Amino acid sequence: MQGSACIRVTGPLELDRCYRILGVRSDADLPEIKAAFRRLAREFHPDRNKSPGAEEKFNELTEAYSTIVSSYGLPITADTGAHRGSNSEEFKGKLDFTIFTDKEVVHSVSPKLFEEEIRKRFNPSLDPGISCKVDKTWFEIGVETSGKMPIFGSRMGKRKSLIEWYKGPDGTDRWKSTTWDAFWEYVRTYAAQAIL
């Protein structure tokens, strides 16, 4: 059976089992989950692995991945049966990025279109307060101020800036100003690593 499949989570125990199947923590983010799935799916894909049980393991991995991603409210397009030729979206090398305005929206595109698609949705012409997550890093359009913290969501006559959020050694959220050139280099490097 080929086509779209949305697998719904029926309970927390099933979801926990899915994380265990993929070998990731239950608090793993989507890029971590996707990376684990890709690594294991390549290992057990029946076109590459002819050992007994490889196809069954591959199907179990695909179902676990679909269940986890569905729990985020995202639709899953997967080749759930005859997988020869690998029609699964995961094998087409899609990369995720998240844009947050008034709600969080995850976009999944090919590495070749990654930068172009981000430029459409996150660029210097947009208002402060809009954020973009690439890999595990959040970037936010802010406003330059003379104070310690940037002002988000309101221009107040100040010049817009780009802020990079990261975790400090103590686990707290921290920020630093960055440039759009540095952001685009980060985007290109992330997309290039996915192609390799």
Are the C-beta atoms of 144 and 150 separated by less than 8 Å?
A: yes
* Residue-range domain boundaries for the chain: 12-92, 95-195
Task: Give the span between the Cα atoms of 133 and 136, in whole angstroms.
Answer: 7
Give the pair of three-digit tokens for residue 134: 């690439």
pLDDT lower than 50: segments of the chain: 1-13, 77-92, 153-156
- CB-count burial class (<10 Å; 0-12, 13-18, 19+) for 175: middle
Give me the phi and psi of 24, to 5 degrees please: -120, 160
Alpha-carbon Rg for the chain in angstroms: 19
pTM: 0.49
The predicted structure's pLDDT at residue 4: 38
Task: Give the span between the Cα atoms of 98 and 76, in whole angstroms.
Answer: 17
The predicted structure's pLDDT at residue 38: 86
Which CATH architecture best describes the domain 12-92? Orthogonal Bundle (1.10)
Q: Calculate the alpha carbon distances from 49 to 34, 52, 193 in Å.
A: 20, 9, 25
Task: Give the span between the Cα atoms of 22 and 194, in whole angstroms.
Answer: 19
The predicted structure's pLDDT at residue 81: 33
Characterise 71 by phi-psi region: left (phi > 0), alpha (psi -120 to 50), beta (else).
alpha
The per-residue pLDDT for range 93-141, each reduced to its tens digit, is 688 899 998 788 888 888 888 999 999 999 999 989 899 999 889 999 9
3-state secondary structure 130-165: CEEEECCEEEEEEECCCCCCCECCCCCCCCEEEEEE
The predicted structure's pLDDT at residue 92: 47
The predicted structure's pLDDT at residue 30: 82
Task: Give the span between the Cα atoms of 77 and 105, in whole angstroms.
Answer: 17
